Amino acid sequence: MIVMGILNVTPDSFADGGRHNDYEAAVKRGLEMIAEGVDIIDVGGESTKPGAERVPEVEELNRVIPIIKALAKYGVKISIDTMRASTAQAAIQAGAQIVNDVSGGLADPEMLKTVAALKVPYIAMHWRGHSKDMNSRAVYGDVVKEVIAELQQRIDSALEAGISKNNLIIDPGIGFAKDAQHNWDIIDSLDEFTALGYPVLIGASRKRFLGGDNPDDREKATIELTKRLAGTGIWGVRVHTVAPHKEVLSA
Ligand code: PMM
């Protein structure tokens, strides 16, 4: 199972917000993750925490491009966490190799064809709308069935736009328009997600449903969860700390 290390370059991201929002600190954290054996560094410049407002494109680019350029020199695999086709394209040109789109192509009508033309791997996450009001969309009859059906639509759109089957990775979007029980129901049914035939990524790190008031307190629960996920056949975890997850996975 691969470990994707989170490098949020935002002043307001909920779990590490404000700590890596300058260039030096972000590059230093990236180098630490490389030393810890990270498989992919996920660089993002726009917070998606519940309630977050959009960040203008120019600000997003200013945050992520210099860091991608600096870290790409070390040969590490980098994904760009963005909902914008233009940012995805600039990031790939700067040295990123994967596009991670929490909206699964819904936020920007240019995204899927842009990724298809770039011929790079694409992570399509389940999403029901922007963070500003996503909690109000956490309404399901059968969460697993509905998330799978909505993800299947994203898969179909991606394939239709010309993204190759081999370049698609799916993610149920833990915490995105989902309450705590929805998240656990999905985690308990991951075999239904892997049965879709694509690598599955899970981003649960330090999210609210893990309990505790402070995101750092959720670290222990995140590591326990990685231990549990290791037996499910998923492809990877997106996490804030790298070494503890690598350790759990090699045990
Ligand atoms: N979660 C966040 C941001 N990007 N990308 C994917 N593929 N999956 C996720 O679950 C996901 C993501 C929000 O968490 P953060 O603010 O800690 O980065």
- Best substitution site from 106, 125, 200, 205 to test ligand 1's pocket, by max atoms within 8 Å of Cβ? 125
Distance 175 CA to ligand 1 centre (A): 9
Question: What is the chain's mean pLDDT, rounded?
Answer: 93
Q: For residue 14, what pLDDT is reported?
A: 45
What's this model's pTM, rounded to 2 decimal places?
0.95
For residue 10, the ligand 1 atom closest to its alpha carbon is: 16
With a cut of 60, say whether residue 87 has pLDDT above it. Answer: yes
pLDDT digits (tens, 9 = 90+) for 176-205: 999 999 999 999 999 999 999 999 999 999
Catalytic residue annotation: 207, 238
pLDDT digits (tens, 9 = 90+) for 31-66: 999 999 999 999 999 988 878 888 999 999 999 999
- Ligand 1: residues with CB < 6 A are 6, 8, 13-15, 48-49, 81, 100, 102, 123, 125, 171, 173-174, 201, 203, 238
CA distance 205 to 14: 11
Q: For residue 61, what pLDDT is reported?
A: 95
Q: For residue 19, what pLDDT is reported?
A: 54
Q: For residue 217, what pLDDT is reported?
A: 79
- Rounded mean pLDDT, 210-236: 91
- Rounded mean pLDDT, 126-153: 94
Q: Is residue 21 very low, low, confident or very high in pLDDT (cuts 50, 70, 90)?
A: low
Q: Mean pLDDT highest for which of 24-28, 159-163, 213-217?
A: 159-163
Q: Provide the 10 A C-beta neighbour count for residue 74.
A: 13
- Rounded mean pLDDT, 78-91: 98
For residue 14, the ligand 1 atom closest to its alpha carbon is: 16
